[in-house]
């Protein structure tokens, strides 16, 4: 009967995980119910870009969200997790352009706008499906019936509504300003889409001759090719060196154009020569200087980054090629020298091309009116960053923010709803495509060719996914605002801040209560994963080799929130070991159940000491893990549950349970079976958000109440289980067992070899130890177990002294006196040290006076225990000496 087959069989992660996910989907467990009895709890998933596949960072992010949403669902919330994908304008367009070019050797212009865009849609369909299957493979319990894409009709409607509203309120405007331009992508970029990289470049000193022949003025520049756009040279008004040349005129090289010397305190006299060429069309600072002095702006570059007709004979050359040629000519003319110069050069975030500050007409969002409330809401704690330090980063950015350039010269994205009139030149911005110009009534309208920055639509994600603006009574009313957002710190500016100000503006509510910021997943050497390093790890490969459960557990316990983590396969293996351990422990439980077992707990009076202990620990673990999870301390919570399951449940309780399961007293069998089942059930529930698959699989085989562990109630605080007496008692029993084992090990006595064990406890522990005798018998294998405060120890023995019990093994003929003396004297030395330490501490009047009473009391108890132990160890040590002397005397 004991050896019946476990219904669990062999663990096959791949087959099992796929099958379970399918079943969850079929049963609709992921769908938010809308149950009015339940409180809603909502998370919107940061939509992955449809550019390609998911990486470990996505896996971490989604695991965190799934963990939270699964716990909340079990806690009885109407939990909603909205999945989706982002169209990722530049990134996706670039990928598809590359694909078209590679496969057909054609550019997007060869295809034409409509044909190209339909190619991108095809790409989107394909990769959205890849991403969907990857998220599923991870076990994400998101509500697929509410999946969204940033370019869905509803979300596009939201984009248009937002654009038009902001335009009407004067918060969106079009203008000719310096923006960041990527000549490769041929589009404008926002400030944060530019990545600055420290580079070794050159500082060129060029001498411009005065028109009146009175010598030259030497300027310093890093970009000599822009000299064709120079409209002035500026010096500091207070700079004595140049005061006399202000107002004079200079002649530019390569041409006859003359420019004035002006004074502006923007100039730093310490830098370079103290004289700066002013090129308003190609430098943001120069642009401002130009405006202050009413200077013209000469744009000398094409959108591809080539010099245009203003550059004379250099027209048509690429900007870097032109720079070389210009420098060469100026050097031979003797008017240019160069020095090495370190400076940060902006690169396109998507393609790495050096970004060009470029004057062009673009659409902007006026930021200040939006940024102020967005800062407030975080400052007031209505939205909280976890860890809190990220709120500083957020607030710092918002307080220094410049207007947001939102137009992109791309084809993939939301087309800007602005229409220009061919007759009056007026602009019409409207919710529906206009038939006629609002200014003059002409029907000769053409829509702006450009699309909006992807982040413009992502910024609306928390409410656009819920039906805003069309359906405000449905999901939006119930599930917005959301409770939690989980994302990486790299996206705080791009996305989090923008969602917050857009939500505040359009819904008057912050979009989330908590923003969880996690760190980066790095490789085993601490480097970022990157294509160029070739160190990428596909989460699907990890799942394939181990399991989604293991990957999830590893990621979520790998580091504290906000801290970067290194990805080590060894740690996935460790997580997999836990999965296996859970599986095997469950097999044990199941193969020891009787078919007619009724689900439930044994009555309190039927519970064994071990039962009481494990229920107490279950209770502790439940409280602690719940507290930690609710504080978003996932790694801590994972550890708490891990330790309970492995150490308390497997190493101790299961071993102890064997006494009752296989023992002679049949009455104890059923209570133990019930406790095993109960504790396993609840431990699985605690583990489920971490490891959804294996816990579901096991739970299905368990006597249970419910259809799926996904919807089983989250374990609650159960006062009835609180049992400090059982906890203390078992702690002592465990100490005793451990000590006996240690003595056996030190004396090389295998557990299979029986040996007499004598325990001399303090009287108050007599009953507990007596009760625990069957456990000690099973785990220590004594030939005879004596438990008696007055027991006499045999002459030939080894001993161990605990605070509350003395332990002796009877070892006739086996005691190595000198080894034993060494061991005891080490022990004695250690105890003496501790006693001394505590005596000194307690002799300190300041300590007694100022430390909390409880601490002082604790230290006194410690001292007392140590003193007693020392006394006994010293006595034993002395006894050995006399035995040794006797032997020598013989």
Within 586-605, the residues that bind RNA by CB under 7 A are 587-588, 591-592
Footprint of RNA on 504-543 (CB under 7 A): 526
Strand pairing of 565-566 and 521-522? Answer: parallel
Asked if 636 interacts with RNA (CB under 7 A), we say: yes
Nearer to RNA, 81 or 866 (CB): 866
* Residues in the chain, total: 890
CA 866 to chain centre: 46
Nearer to RNA, 39 or 527 (CB): 527
Minimum gap (Å) between residue 616 Cβ and RNA: 19
- Among the listed ranges 336-344, 464-472, 685-693, 699-707, the one in contact with RNA (CB under 7 A) is 336-344
Footprint of RNA on 808-837 (CB under 7 A): 837
Asked if 243 interacts with RNA (CB under 7 A), we say: no
Minimum gap (Å) between residue 253 Cβ and RNA: 15
Query: Token pair 């499906």 is at which residue?
Result: 129
CA distance 195 to 175: 24
CA distance 333 to 320: 20
Size of the site for RNA (CB under 7 A): 85
- Candidates 844, 861, 871, 885; binder of RNA (CB under 7 A) is 844
- Among the listed ranges 120-128, 500-508, 630-638, 724-732, the one in contact with RNA (CB under 7 A) is 630-638
Q: Enumerate helices (H) and strands (E) in the chain, giving the number of each.
A: 28, 29
Nearer to RNA, 163 or 493 (CB): 493
Nearer to RNA, 595 or 846 (CB): 846
- Among the listed ranges 568-576, 613-621, 724-732, 873-881, the one in contact with RNA (CB under 7 A) is 568-576
Asked if 277 interacts with RNA (CB under 7 A), we say: yes
- Candidates 59, 74, 82, 565; binder of RNA (CB under 7 A) is 565
Minimum gap (Å) between residue 77 Cβ and RNA: 26
Asked if 241 interacts with RNA (CB under 7 A), we say: no
Footprint of RNA on 163-202 (CB under 7 A): 191-192, 196
- Candidates 124, 552, 571, 685; binder of RNA (CB under 7 A) is 571
Minimum gap (Å) between residue 33 Cβ and RNA: 35
Query: In the structure encoding, which two tokens stand for residue 564, read together?
Result: 């970067």
CA distance 243 to 261: 10
CA distance 553 to 574: 10
- Write the secondary structure of 4-58 as one string of H (helix), E (strand) and C (coil): CCCCCCCCCHHHHHHHHHHHHHHHCCCCCCCCCCCCEEEEECCCCECCCCCCHHH
User: Mapping DSSP to helix (H, G, I), strand (E, B) and coil, where does residue 453 land?
Assistant: coil
Minimum gap (Å) between residue 811 Cβ and RNA: 17
Asked if 564 interacts with RNA (CB under 7 A), we say: yes
- Candidates 376, 655, 670, 796; binder of RNA (CB under 7 A) is 655
CA distance 690 to 640: 12
The per-residue DSSP string of 171-239 comes to -EEEEEEEEEEETTTTEEE-GGGEEEEEEEEEEEEEEEEBTTSS-EEEEEES-GGGGGG--EEEE-TT-
Minimum gap (Å) between residue 347 Cβ and RNA: 11
Query: Distance of CA 752 to CAs 756, 808, 812, Å?
Result: 13, 18, 17
Convert residues 354-393 into a mask of x (bound to RNA by CB under 7 A) and - (unbound). Answer: -----------------------------------x--xx
User: Mapping DSSP to helix (H, G, I), strand (E, B) and coil, where does residue 498 land?
Assistant: helix
Nearest to 428, CA basis, from 420, 24, 289, 353: 420
Residues 677, 593: contact at Cβ < 8 Å? yes
Query: Distance of CA 202 to CAs 7, 343, 410, 637, Å?
Result: 74, 9, 33, 54
Minimum gap (Å) between residue 845 Cβ and RNA: 8
Nearer to RNA, 111 or 572 (CB): 572
- Candidates 639, 762, 821, 872; binder of RNA (CB under 7 A) is 639
Asked if 336 interacts with RNA (CB under 7 A), we say: no
- Among the listed ranges 84-92, 253-261, 363-371, 748-756, the one in contact with RNA (CB under 7 A) is 748-756
CA distance 692 to 690: 6
Asked if 72 interacts with RNA (CB under 7 A), we say: no
Asked if 40 interacts with RNA (CB under 7 A), we say: no
- Candidates 299, 353, 442, 584; binder of RNA (CB under 7 A) is 584
Burial of 830 (0-12, 13-18, 19+ CB in 10 A): middle
- Among the listed ranges 437-445, 532-540, 649-657, 863-871, the one in contact with RNA (CB under 7 A) is 649-657
Footprint of RNA on 610-629 (CB under 7 A): none
Asked if 276 interacts with RNA (CB under 7 A), we say: yes
- Candidates 106, 293, 338, 581; binder of RNA (CB under 7 A) is 581
Asked if 2 interacts with RNA (CB under 7 A), we say: yes
Asked if 275 interacts with RNA (CB under 7 A), we say: yes
Asked if 746 interacts with RNA (CB under 7 A), we say: yes
Query: Distance of CA 489 to CAs 150, 367, 486, 760, Å?
Result: 22, 21, 10, 60
Minimum gap (Å) between residue 657 Cβ and RNA: 9
Backbone angles phi, psi at 675, to 5 degrees: -65, -45
Nearest to 221, CA basis, from 144, 293, 278: 278
CA distance 277 to 228: 10
User: Mapping DSSP to helix (H, G, I), strand (E, B) and coil, where does residue 29 land?
Assistant: coil
Residues 562, 520: contact at Cβ < 8 Å? no
Minimum gap (Å) between residue 291 Cβ and RNA: 15
- Candidates 272, 511, 729, 761; binder of RNA (CB under 7 A) is 272
- Candidates 16, 203, 327, 331; binder of RNA (CB under 7 A) is 203
Backbone angles phi, psi at 39, to 5 degrees: -85, 135
CA distance 671 to 348: 68
Asked if 45 interacts with RNA (CB under 7 A), we say: no
CA distance 133 to 64: 18
**Which distant-in-sequence residues (6+ apart) come within 8 Å of 544 by Cβ?**
14
Query: Token pair 């503006």 is at which residue?
Result: 505
Minimum gap (Å) between residue 742 Cβ and RNA: 4
Footprint of RNA on 721-740 (CB under 7 A): 737-738
- Candidates 210, 529, 646, 877; binder of RNA (CB under 7 A) is 646
Asked if 859 interacts with RNA (CB under 7 A), we say: yes
Minimum gap (Å) between residue 309 Cβ and RNA: 24
CA 483 to chain centre: 17
Q: H or E element: which one contains 484?
A: strand 482-488
Residues 685, 714: contact at Cβ < 8 Å? yes
- Candidates 605, 846, 888, 889; binder of RNA (CB under 7 A) is 846
Asked if 635 interacts with RNA (CB under 7 A), we say: yes
- Among the listed ranges 162-170, 214-222, 424-432, 451-459, the one in contact with RNA (CB under 7 A) is 214-222
- Candidates 174, 184, 223, 248; binder of RNA (CB under 7 A) is 223
Nearer to RNA, 155 or 245 (CB): 245
Query: In the structure encoding, which two tokens stand for residue 385, read together?
Result: 């960053």
Query: Token pair 């190609």 is at which residue?
Result: 282
Nearer to RNA, 16 or 560 (CB): 560
**Which distant-in-sequence residues (6+ apart) come within 8 Å of 270 by Cβ?**
none
- Candidates 658, 821, 828, 860; binder of RNA (CB under 7 A) is 658
């Amino acid at each position: 009967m004991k050896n019946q087959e476990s219904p669990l069989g062999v663990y096959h992660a791949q087959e099992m995980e796929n099958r379970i996910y399918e079943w969850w989907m079929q049963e609709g467990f992921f769908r938010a119910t809308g149950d009015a009895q339940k409180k809603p709890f909502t998370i919107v998933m940061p939509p992955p870009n449809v550019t390609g596949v998911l990486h470990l960072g996505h896996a971490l992010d989604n695991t965190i969200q799934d963990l939270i949403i699964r716990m909340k669902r079990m806690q009885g919330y109407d939990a909603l997790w909205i999945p989706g994908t982002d169209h990722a304008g530049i990134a996706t367009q670039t990928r598809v352009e590359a694909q078209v070019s590679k496969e057909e050797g054609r550019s997007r212009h060869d295809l034409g706008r409509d044909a190209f865009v339909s190619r991108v849609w095809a790409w989107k369909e394909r990769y959205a499906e890849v991403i969907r299957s990857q998220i599923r493979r991870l076990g994400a319990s998101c509500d697929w019936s509410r999946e969204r894409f940033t370019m869905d009709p509803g979300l596009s409607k939201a984009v248009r509504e937002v654009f038009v509203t902001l335009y009407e309120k004067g918060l969106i405007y079009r203008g000719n300003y310096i923006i960041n331009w990527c000549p490769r992508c041929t589009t404008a970029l926002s400030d944060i889409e530019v990545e600055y990289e420290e580079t070794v470049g050159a500082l060129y000193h060029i001498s411009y001759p005065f028109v009146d022949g009175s010598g030259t003025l030497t300027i310093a520049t890093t970009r000599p090719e822009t000299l064709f756009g120079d409209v002035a040279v500026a010096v500091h008004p207070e700079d004595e060196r140049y005061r006399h040349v202000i107002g004079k005129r200079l002649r530019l090289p390569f041409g006859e154009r003359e420019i004035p010397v002006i004074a502006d305190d923007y100039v730093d006299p310490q830098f370079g020569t103290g004289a700066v060429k002013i090129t308003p069309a190609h430098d943001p600072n120069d642009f401002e200087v130009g405006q202050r002095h009413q200077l013209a702006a000469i744009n000398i570059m094409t959108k591809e980054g080539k010099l245009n007709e203003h550059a004379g004979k250099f027209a048509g050359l690429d900007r870097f090629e032109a720079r070389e040629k210009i420098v060469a000519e100026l050097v031979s003319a003797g008017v240019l020298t160069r020095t090495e110069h370190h400076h940060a050069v902006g690169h396109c975030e998507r393609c790495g091309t050096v970004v060009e500050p470029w004057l062009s007409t673009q659409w902007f969002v006026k930021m200040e009116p939006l940024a102020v409330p967005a800062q407030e809401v975080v400052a007031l704690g209505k939205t909280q960053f976890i860890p809190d330090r990220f709120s500083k980063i957020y607030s710092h950015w918002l307080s220094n923010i410049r207007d947001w350039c939102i137009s992109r010269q791309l084809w993939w994205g939301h087309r800007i709803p602005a229409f220009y009139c061919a007759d009056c030149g007026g602009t019409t911005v409207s919710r529906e495509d206009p038939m006629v110009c609002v200014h003059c009534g002409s029907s000769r309208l053409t829509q702006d060719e450009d699309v909006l920055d992807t982040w413009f639509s992502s910024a609306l994600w928390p409410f656009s996914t819920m039906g805003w603006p069309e359906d405000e009574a449905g999901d939006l009313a119930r599930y917005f605002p959301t409770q939690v957002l989980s994302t990486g710190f790299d996206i705080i500016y791009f996305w989090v801040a923008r969602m917050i100000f857009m939500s505040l503006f359009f819904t008057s509510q912050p979009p989330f209560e908590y923003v969880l910021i996690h760190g980066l997943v790095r490789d085993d050497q601490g480097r970022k994963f990157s294509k160029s390093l070739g160190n990428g790890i596909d989460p699907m490969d990890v799942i394939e080799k181990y399991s989604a459960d293991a990957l999830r557990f590893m990621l979520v316990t790998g580091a504290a929130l906000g801290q970067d983590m290194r990805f080590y396969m060894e740690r996935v293996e460790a997580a997999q070991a836990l999965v296996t351990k859970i599986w095997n422990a469950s097999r044990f439980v199941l193969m020891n159940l009787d078919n007619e077992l009724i689900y439930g707990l044994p009555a309190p009076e039927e519970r064994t000491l071990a039962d009481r202990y494990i229920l107490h620990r279950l209770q502790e673990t439940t409280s602690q893990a719940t507290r930690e999870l609710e504080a978003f301390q996932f790694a801590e919570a994972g550890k708490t549950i891990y330790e309970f399951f492995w150490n308390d449940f497997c190493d101790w309780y299961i071993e102890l349970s064997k006494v009752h399961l296989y023992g002679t007293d049949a009455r104890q069998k059923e209570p133990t079976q019930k406790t095993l089942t109960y504790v396993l059930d609840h431990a699985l529930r605690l583990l489920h958000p971490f490891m959804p698959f294996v816990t579901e699989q096991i739970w299905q085989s368990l006597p249970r109440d419910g259809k799926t562990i996904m919807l089983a109630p989250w374990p609650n605080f159960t006062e009835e289980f609180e049992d400090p007496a059982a906890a203390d008692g078992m702690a002592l029993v465990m100490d005793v067992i451990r000590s006996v084992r240690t003595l056996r090990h030190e004396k090389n006595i295998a557990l299979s070899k029986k040996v007499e064990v004598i325990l001399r406890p303090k009287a108050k522990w007599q009953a507990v130890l007596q009760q625990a005798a069957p456990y000690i018998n099973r785990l220590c294998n004594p030939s005879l177990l004596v438990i008696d405060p007055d027991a006499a120890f045999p002459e030939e023995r080894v001993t161990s002294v605990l605070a509350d019990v003395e332990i002796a093994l009877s070892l006739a003929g086996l005691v190595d006196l000198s080894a034993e003396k060494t061991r005891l004297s080490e022990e004695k030395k250690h105890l003496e040290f501790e006693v001394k330490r505590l005596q000194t501490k307690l002799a300190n009047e300041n300590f007694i006076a100022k430390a909390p009473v409880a601490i002082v009391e604790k230290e006194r108890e410690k001292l007392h225990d140590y003193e007693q132990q020392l006394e006994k160890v010293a006595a034993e040590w002395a006894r050995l000496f006399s035995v040794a002397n006797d032997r020598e005397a013989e």
